[in-house]
Amino acid sequence: MGDKILYKGTTMTGNRLEVRDTVIDGLDVRVLYVDDVRESALFKDINLRSEFISLYQDLVARIMDNAPGVGNTLLIGGAGFIFPHYYIRRYPSRRMDVVEIDREMIKVARSYFYLDDLFEQYNLAVNRRLEIFNVDGNRFISSTRRRYDAVINDAYDGGNPDPGLSSYDGTADIHRILNPGGIYIVNLITAITGRYSMRLTMLLKILQDHFNYVKYSRCEEDRDPFDIQNVVIIASDKPLDWL
């Protein structure tokens, strides 16, 4: 039996959106595709919704589990809102703001990725442990007065990271909204070395200009470093020896 298509639409920039139900390793999964590239995936079983299918989200979760002093987190780039499911269930004393520029993405997350259920189950509309901002990430970080213990940058337009957030000025704004010793986490699709590693090289240089400590981890350590792959970068003004 093939995938069941639940929804077809377009993003605000004209990318094709599609939501499908499928089976992965014998488990029912709901998947969001953008231009036929898997953007988000969530187990349909409510008992598994804080588990991850994506390796990079699993790595980010392990970082957040170990990060000291995190109470208030900003996620830039919501897509299917997979990580908030984990965060809200895992950390009852923490809260999260999510910035998502595309209103259609938010509608899809509410209707097909159980975001409304999460709000109801944890009374989030009242306790405001999860707040959603339908705005451009660059505009939000340049104007907000809120401060965060952790910022996670997962903002992509198709296969390309948001250029403003990765710029020198964008990184300066992110550094400004972090509390002292806060951590900045970036999901980057890049090669480690070779002709396709320029994204990594340039972003590391910018981060090192703003933060005292910068590290990165590959989501698949056995992948060829010349392959394009998910890399998670962590930056802070305090030592990262807890990683």
Establish if 17 belongs to a structural domain.
no
Phi and psi at 81, nearest 5°, equal 55, 45
Phi and psi at 41, nearest 5°, equal -150, 140
Establish if 203 belongs to a structural domain.
yes
pLDDT in tens, the chain (243 residues): 578 999 999 988 888 999 999 998 899 999 999 888 888 999 999 888 888 888 888 899 999 999 988 999 999 999 999 999 999 999 999 999 999 999 999 999 999 999 999 999 999 999 999 999 999 999 999 999 999 999 999 987 666 778 889 999 999 999 999 999 999 999 999 999 999 999 999 999 999 999 999 999 998 889 999 999 999 999 999 999 998
Q: What is the pLDDT of residue 200?
A: 94
Q: What is the pLDDT of residue 18?
A: 95
Establish if 36 belongs to a structural domain.
no
Q: What is the pLDDT of residues 135-180, one digit of tens each?
A: 999 999 999 999 999 999 998 766 677 888 999 999 999 999 999 9
Query: Total structural domains in the chain?
Result: 1
Can you tell me whether residue 162 is helix, strand or coil? coil
Q: What is the pLDDT of residue 2?
A: 72
Find the domain containing 168 and state its range. Answer: 48-236
Number of neighbouring beta carbons within 10 Å of residue 4: 10
Q: What is the pLDDT of residue 56?
A: 84
Establish if 10 belongs to a structural domain.
no
CATH code, domain carrying 209: 3.40.50.150
List, in order, residues 6 or more apart from 44 with CB less than 8 Å away: 21, 28, 29, 30
Establish if 101 belongs to a structural domain.
yes
Nearest to 185 by CA among 157, 164, 213, 209: 213
Tokens found for residue 135: 């705005």
CA angle, 144 then 145 then 149, to 5°: 95
Number of neighbouring beta carbons within 10 Å of residue 231: 25
Establish if 1 belongs to a structural domain.
no
Q: What is the pLDDT of residue 157?
A: 67
Establish if 41 belongs to a structural domain.
no
Establish if 155 belongs to a structural domain.
yes
